[in-house]
Amino acid sequence: MSSEPSEPGSNTSATSGYTQGHSAAVVASHASRTVNNSAAFLLPHLKPDFTLLDLGCGPGTITRGFCSYIPRGRVIGIDAAESVIEQAQAFSSASTKTEYPNLSFQVGDITAALPFADGSIDVVYTSQTILHIPAPVAVMKEAHRVLKPGGMLAMRETDSMVWHPTNSGMDAYWAALGKAVPPGAQGMGTGRRLHVWAKEAGFSAAKMQVGTGGMCYAAPDLSRWWADVHVQRLRGDVGKKWVEDLKLVRDQNEIDEMVAGLKAWGDNEEAWYAALQGELICWK
């Protein structure tokens, strides 16, 4: 079974709001991301003295991982949510801070002007951020402005998900999750459009590396962990929001059916889930 991409939104508004929130269950899945599983396509291009911006950095596990590749440079994580920036700073233990004095995190809205001078940055990176933004081209234009000539915009964004075996609760959950993005944001189907938006933003097709990556969670342990992460989301703020604010589901019964479906899938000895990621590097 697979989730279907939604039709492209109007992508005209420059406002956004992350609809998942930053509860422990949401941050748990973000914190499982590392440079190895989420930025391997970019690592060979990094140089020790680069300045790198991670837009929509979340809890900053990927951001921090860049530091060992950029020991003499600067790594800056930016996120709109104060609470998640506090977590990113807290995750940076005293020893990490000593090891990586050039790592910093700041609160900021990446749909507004970035607080950096023209041509001052070597790498702008995003992971699972563009899919939540109603105006991706505006963000990419701003990345283009702050990049040095020869600098890179590197993005890894989900396109679609597939899983086995299937059941109605599991199908309903992933269909609803794909729609849980701010109005106008692309959500599912973002990975396949990154190169299109980058061209609109001023990057040249001749200077792009267009590729894909993936993420797989299979039985027994990873499928149970992955199911549990999403069950906890549904039982917490996310489920409440889907019923009360976003009206993505009719009532609590639908949430309960999704929880049962996720658990049954997670415990199934054949369980397998994969997400296809668009991976794009654009050189300025």
State the residues that interact with ligand SAM by CB under 6 A.
16, 18, 30, 33, 56-58, 62, 79-81, 84, 109-111, 127-129, 132-133
Taking a C-beta distance cutoff of 8 angstroms, is the pair 172, 279 a contact? Answer: no
Smallest gap from residue 58 Cβ to ligand SAM (A): 3
- Residue 183 CB: number of other CB atoms within 10 A? 12
Contact assessment for residue 158 and residue 191, using Cβ atoms and an 8 Å cutoff: yes
Residue 21: CB minimum distance to ligand SAM, A: 9
Separation CA 107–CA 80 (nearest Å) = 5
Report, in Å, the least distance between residue 143 CB and ligand SAM.
13
Nearer to ligand SAM, 157 or 254 (CB): 157
Q: Would residue 143 be called left, alpha or beta, if left means φ above 0 and alpha means ψ between -120 and 50 degrees?
A: alpha
111 vs 167, beta carbon nearer ligand SAM: 111
Smallest distance, ligand SAM to C-beta of residue 264, A: 26
Which of 83/204 has CB closer to ligand SAM? 83
φ/ψ of 58, rounded to 5, equals 60, -140
Secondary structure element (H or E) that encloses residue 36, with its range? helix 35-38
Residue closer to ligand SAM by CB (options 85, 167) is 85
Min dist. Cβ of residue 22 to ligand SAM (A):
7
Q: Name which of 15 and 253 has its Cβ closer to ligand SAM.
A: 15
Residue nearest to ligand SAM (CB): 58
For ligand SAM, the closer of residues 63 and 167 by Cβ is 63
* Token reading at 111: 């749909």
First to last CA, the chain: 39
Number of other residues whose CB lies within 10 A of the CB of residue 100: 17
Tell me how far, at minimum, the Cβ of 133 lies from ligand SAM, in Å: 6
* Nearest one of 14, 145, 156 to 80, comparing CA atoms: 14
Contact between residue 189 and residue 5 where contact means Cβ atoms under 8 Å apart: yes
